[in-house]
Structure 1
């Protein structure tokens, strides 16, 4: 099959449903659920490399059978958990038949001779894509679900991964999926797993063709700067007629996945976050595209990850800074990012062409990104509204329309009716009456005194608003029934440049750019400022001297450059330094006009010692601003001294004159094994008005620190420092000290200890405000700290891992609502407890049966936060004495039969700094009124004779706690239990498993009523299994349950007795049949139609109940698998509920 045919098949069947693929060609690891037998791999397994684990415990050869040739794994005794396989493979399948010639081709004289010349297909029918050099993995499935308590449902899935050669000079890398993943990777690691990335890539040394999701990166040039996520088609091609003359081009057409924004955030004292990101047009709630962010603190680029500088929640657009960066009132935060913009379909076209040779570099770039104004996505616009937008030009503050929409009555959304009251007409009132609730309304927050509505309450469908009467024709609310329209935009840019290296040491370079920015493509007005242009021309010369052994140690670099921007020039993204506007005192000033930036500079560099640079610059913005700046930067190492600095002095003239002096210095000296250093950061910014008097925006600060650190950081790295900062504000034409901040800290990292690693850092800062009138800031004491420790010993018989972090920040008040989805595709079910037809917040439960699961719960972010102190603690301990004492005798042999796994994880936030309780992760009671939120999990498993073939036992203690801060209260849950289970394999065919559990389930919800309960329960379960062979197993089990609600209001109680049987029959060629039947007798006292009743009854009814399920799975052919499933249940005085499904899956 030719390469083009393969490409055509892929595109024909899968279009642009495309994802990420990676494969380890060495050791392989798979996590699989094994009920009886499974084929681990399509290739033969190398025998000495095979290992199997349940959790972290290896399986012994007596517990399983493995055919290394066919990779067929058979478990002798089924396990509850998935099994982790670690192995290596041969590059072929030893179970297959291999031969040089097919014996069927030997000619038979009695056979028709014409068949000798018949051309057979080279590839088998099963190999859809053909070829032995193509690695493929995945499946496609189609299924249906049905029942008498749900609508017919259709589901499908496609997952395909390809890599390898498709021809002699073409390779393919592809991941194709039709899964609509609604979430993004968690932004708490340095490297992201882009599981939402879907693509097909065809490539070789010169060509790269990619269809699907891809990154569009900055091309050659100065003004054209972007890094975009797109979905479409992109082609790169490179060619050269001579070795030193290379042409390259890129052409892309795609849908843009996001819009760019640059947000400047001023840090808050003692607040590590979260800090909320907003859209370019102040959209309050956005979704940041994963991996697109750049985060800066004081001009320094940070690294993402919990072990580095910050973490980010892309779905809520919130950033939290780790303990490596103490955030204060002085911290300057800049975030550049892209976010999902669903207002219009947005297309993107890009082309770049470049040429490189020894003398000449040339480039040409074109970029166009535009909203499809006739394809709005999340905002519906009528013809009247479009006409209105066409008349406002670029005055986007006027893009506001009425949001009242007559839709008729629906029971799955909040609706309003119109009334007249107190002499006011057309007042919107929330209603559930089908006779009058006809209006769907979007309420927009506009600030206090600017609206006529206020937020009154919450229900399961969202917020409920209430009209409030104006006083003296002055509005008293903060919401209005309106909607700000995001206008469709178009942004285009073209740039071309030339670099001429006219000598070995000199070059001249020039680039021109043209931009077109239309803020409202609905309107033909205000077009005169859409187009802008720019130019940068630079000259640079490098002179080398001071040769030592034919190597030039010294170099002198001189440069001259001029940059011009017309007032209407709009770049795609920021291309200048992150603090360029702050360096020139233009941040937030709103200066307008053509920009001119001129620079003359020189740099002296030594290959071993460092470099020193000095620049003289001029910058102007029309007639609004003009400034001159001297700038120096350097680093130098000599005779044990190490110095780094940058300094600048600015004199500027605008509406007022300003002078800005700033410098940063870091100098240190080696003294034996230590390095002693000094750092400082100083700024003095003076603003003078027309009368030459200093204005109130003038300021000065001096920030310095002393530190001691070690020299050799390969084995151990430590640092101690003391830091002070003095803030000064203007008073009577002179600067007066207004605040003092003192910080002490320590950092430690030990890598030299065998099987151990320690990382520690801490910092304490005290802020003393001397003049509260000059500085609107309250005194604060803040502390941050982190400890990481890992330990392994005695052949991993002991494994210890600790993570502990403290700090202060904010906690968001969350809101949530329930959204109805297709039957069987949700998590929650609605039960109308008060039978009023209104979906109240206390009427949704986690569904116990798939046919009732038709709602999902969605958390909605809010703008309300509370100040908290946070504490995060993760602890794991694994004890495996058998690794060192399994061959001992006596007491040590007995102790080797025991093993233990302990896990403790807590993340809590409190609003009180009392008695050091915030530092104690064990002080975590959800009833504590100072506890704002928490997620805590504790689990300890003590095993006896865990791998024993005859007998084994386990004790488990587990506790889950959660407390969530909501806009209208708290939602708290506690689930705790003790469990003991024992297994006894009486014979190879008979086994017994007995389990007893005692626990409590506690729920407190003060945001609503009817959901508080505290259920103490205990149950005993035993099962007897008979397994005469690996093909058949049958189990008889019974259970006795006792539940009591300890809250004195109702005192509900429930007794459950059930008995049932499960079986499984498996034949390799005929398929697998499994089923279960259960009889339950439930005695219940209390209100059945309540939250506690639903929990106690396990979604069944008092009296006699029956449940049953059957499933059949069969491999129809080599690559096809058929699955049929049927479930049913019956309670007293109710009809039988039937639920079924069928799925056909094809494997590649």
Structure 2
């Protein structure tokens, strides 16, 4: 785009040369047509005998991609059917030897449109088909016979014939073997598919050999090896060369695992994978990865539990032409610790994740939606009637919420390391210090409660080494791609006291994001005080105080930068009469000052609120609220900073009011009416009315 600040992408017209178009896009809009899709399904199961069951199923679909048009309606309806015969025969009752035979036929018309995916996700790969497959008439014949005993030893053979109306023909043979004998476990599989598409023919192989032994000498640990291969050789008949659908990879695995019946479990796995790519007539090895995985679960102690899962991967490239990858080393790990000590005095958890990968640059645009259903408001700061990215703010009022923000991926990637670190800790002395006999320091400590939590999510530019320290880099460091940190500490006194108590909290939230137009960082640091006093059964007093810092910085849009120092105090007086009436009155003083570097704006406001709710016969309620807010602000009111500082209002006298009524209908329906109004400064009065019916489940 030519203008990174535009809401959405900006395209430039390129004139044709000699009648040949030179651009990549056309100014067209895809019309989303009204669609209809219906499915009718009928199935019948009939037991011919105790051991033989016949199943039949018939389905029809009616899919109309444009209900406004009758063109092409002749191919809207399609059919599908299935017939299955299943027989169980006991060969030796003492050994539990059972022979199962299955015959199956399936037919699906090209015009049949299922509601969900009809085939499994590996179906196209197993049959040598392209990932994007055009509809065709399909017929499938299956025959499977399985022999198993009561020890879960099993041998299964299956044959499938798959035909399509686009000249595709395929035959698949499957052999499965499962055995468990004296600590040995065997789980083998062999799939061979031969297919012919008319122009191409090929073979698909998938052998899997998995053998393990339980070692009773070392506490029933299990040692095993596994080999797996997937190879599809699709060749063009005329040129006798491999098609782009051809591929091959094999995996060798060795593992050692502790007894899975134990609560404490350990495991180590090493595996290597080699990939081959089609080049003319041959499959050429392009790269190989070496992988080491460690797993631990310590669950024996219910008070202290630990989980660990980490993988180290090294990629070696042998042919850069066919592989399209670069040699690399990556690590991916997750560790978690959970504790509950001293009868709940200390409880919490720690989570740590580390990894490396590709971070995609993100682009976003604001899309208009019906009023009240969005989150953002557009304010035309420069009065040019053109939406720019720096003109959208979080809506302060519901009638302004006309836009949503949609993130879209781009084709730009950055190799990045990522780290997640979370912890939560609750210190509750009351869990140990409880009872009427407490005195002195023990009684004082029992009234305190401490909750602390930290969340860090960080992605930084990879510089050829792994990143393990979640606290490295500040918000302003250019090595950061994204950063989100949230630290919350709360100290409570008399938290469980019915008469009075108070909480002191500190909330710190820092964030940084990499967008297509550059970096954007946010900072929030609030100290909060909340005190409560239940004067009587009908009156209570609550006081909220705040001292904080709120900032935003983005180099691309200087008009959006601010760093506000905030002070506020708000006492509440609440009157309660039973369950029928609740009245709350409050006064709020709020002072905000912007850093001189970003403009030095100042504001102060005095707000008086009264709010009430009246319940009528437990089925209806009436609520109302009125706010008068007098704001002093001697700076331009049509800026990003002013919108944040004034909470969407204007300098001078501001009036806000609302009235709501709700009625419970039957047992699970609720009818709501809501009226909101406001008169901000010298602007016109805004009236908003809403009605809704809500289903309660």
Alignment TM-score, normalising by the size of structure 2: 0.80
**Matching residue of 1:961:** 510
Partners of 1:1059 and 1:1080 within 8 A in 2:
yes
Q: Does 1:815 align with 2:364?
A: yes
Instruction: Note the C-alpha offset of 1:760.
Output: 2.3
**Matching residue of 1:928:** 477
**Matching residue of 1:711:** 259
**Matching residue of 1:649:** 192
Provide the aligned length of Structure 1 versus Structure 2.
Answer: 679
Q: Does 1:615 align with 2:139?
A: no
1:527-538 counterparts in 2 under 5 A?
none
Partners of 1:814 and 1:965 within 8 A in 2:
no
Gaps of 5+ in 2: none
Q: Identify which of 463, 470, 480 aligns with 2:16.
A: 470
Determine helix, strand or coil for the equivalent of 2:641: helix
Instruction: Note the C-alpha offset of 1:762.
Output: 1.4
**Matching residue of 1:663:** 207
Determine helix, strand or coil for the equivalent of 1:955: strand
Partners of 2:345 and 2:430 within 8 A in 1:
yes
Distance 1:645 1:705 in 2: 14
**Matching residue of 2:320:** 772
Distance 1:837 1:763 in 2: 53
Determine helix, strand or coil for the equivalent of 1:893: helix
Instruction: Note the C-alpha offset of 1:977.
Output: 1.7
- The alignment yields a C-alpha RMSD, in angstroms, of 4.8
In the TM superposition, what whole-angstrom CA distance separates every residue of 1:27-46 from its partner, at most 9, and x where no partner exists? xxxxxxxxxxxxxxxxxxxx
Instruction: Note the C-alpha offset of 1:861.
Output: 3.1
Instruction: Note the C-alpha offset of 1:746.
Output: 1.7
Distance 1:563 1:1116 in 2: 52
Partners of 1:980 and 1:996 within 8 A in 2:
yes
Distance 1:830 1:1147 in 2: 32
Determine helix, strand or coil for the equivalent of 2:320: coil
Distance 1:569 1:958 in 2: 59
Partners of 2:453 and 2:489 within 8 A in 1:
yes
Determine helix, strand or coil for the equivalent of 2:12: strand
Q: Identify which of 676, 682, 685 aligns with 2:223.
A: 676
Determine helix, strand or coil for the equivalent of 1:476: coil
In the TM superposition, what whole-angstrom CA distance separates every residue of 1:390-419 from its partner, at most 9, and x where no partner exists? xxxxxxxxxxxxxxxxxxxxxxxxxxxxxx
Distance 2:248 2:664 in 1: 79
**Matching residue of 1:748:** 296
Distance 2:615 2:514 in 1: 53
Distance 2:30 2:676 in 1: 50
**Matching residue of 2:339:** 791
Distance 1:990 1:502 in 2: 77
Determine helix, strand or coil for the equivalent of 2:432: helix
Partners of 1:819 and 1:858 within 8 A in 2:
no
Distance 1:593 1:955 in 2: 68
In the TM superposition, what whole-angstrom CA distance separates every residue of 1:931-986 from its partner, at most 9, and x where no partner exists? 33344332211123334466644321112234444443444322222234555679
Partners of 2:64 and 2:76 within 8 A in 1:
yes
1:210-225 counterparts in 2 under 5 A?
none
**Structure with the greater relative contact order (CA < 8 A, sep ≥ 6): 1 or 2?**
1
Instruction: Note the C-alpha offset of 1:674.
Output: 0.8
In the TM superposition, what whole-angstrom CA distance separates every residue of 1:41-84 from its partner, at most 9, and x where no partner exists? xxxxxxxxxxxxxxxxxxxxxxxxxxxxxxxxxxxxxxxxxxxx
CA change 1:609–1:1094 in 2 (3 A) is closer
Q: Identify which of 993, 1009, 1013 aligns with 2:562.
A: 1013
Instruction: Note the C-alpha offset of 1:706.
Output: 0.9
CA change 1:487–1:975 in 2 (3 A) is closer
CA change 1:862–1:652 in 2 (3 A) is closer
Distance 2:576 2:202 in 1: 91
Q: Does 1:1090 align with 2:639?
A: yes
**Matching residue of 1:637:** 180
Distance 1:839 1:758 in 2: 51
Q: Identify which of 1, 10, 28 aligns with 1:482.
A: 28
Distance 1:818 1:569 in 2: 36
1:91-490 counterparts in 2 under 5 A?
455-457=1-3, 462-483=8-29
CA change 1:503–1:525 in 2 (3 A) is closer
Distance 1:839 1:870 in 2: 34
**Matching residue of 1:722:** 270
Q: Does 1:606 align with 2:154?
A: no
Instruction: Note the C-alpha offset of 1:777.
Output: 2.2
Distance 1:535 1:792 in 2: 57
Instruction: Note the C-alpha offset of 1:1087.
Output: 3.6
Distance 1:1114 1:565 in 2: 52
Partners of 1:491 and 1:516 within 8 A in 2:
yes
Determine helix, strand or coil for the equivalent of 2:642: helix
Distance 1:637 1:757 in 2: 32
Q: Identify which of 855, 879, 899 aligns with 2:449.
A: 899
Distance 1:619 1:1068 in 2: 69
Determine helix, strand or coil for the equivalent of 1:664: strand
Q: Identify which of 432, 435, 439 aligns with 1:884.
A: 432
Q: Identify which of 930, 935, 940 aligns with 2:489.
A: 940
Partners of 1:1082 and 1:1101 within 8 A in 2:
no
CA change 1:471–1:1117 in 2 (3 A) is closer
CA change 1:754–1:1034 in 2 (3 A) is closer
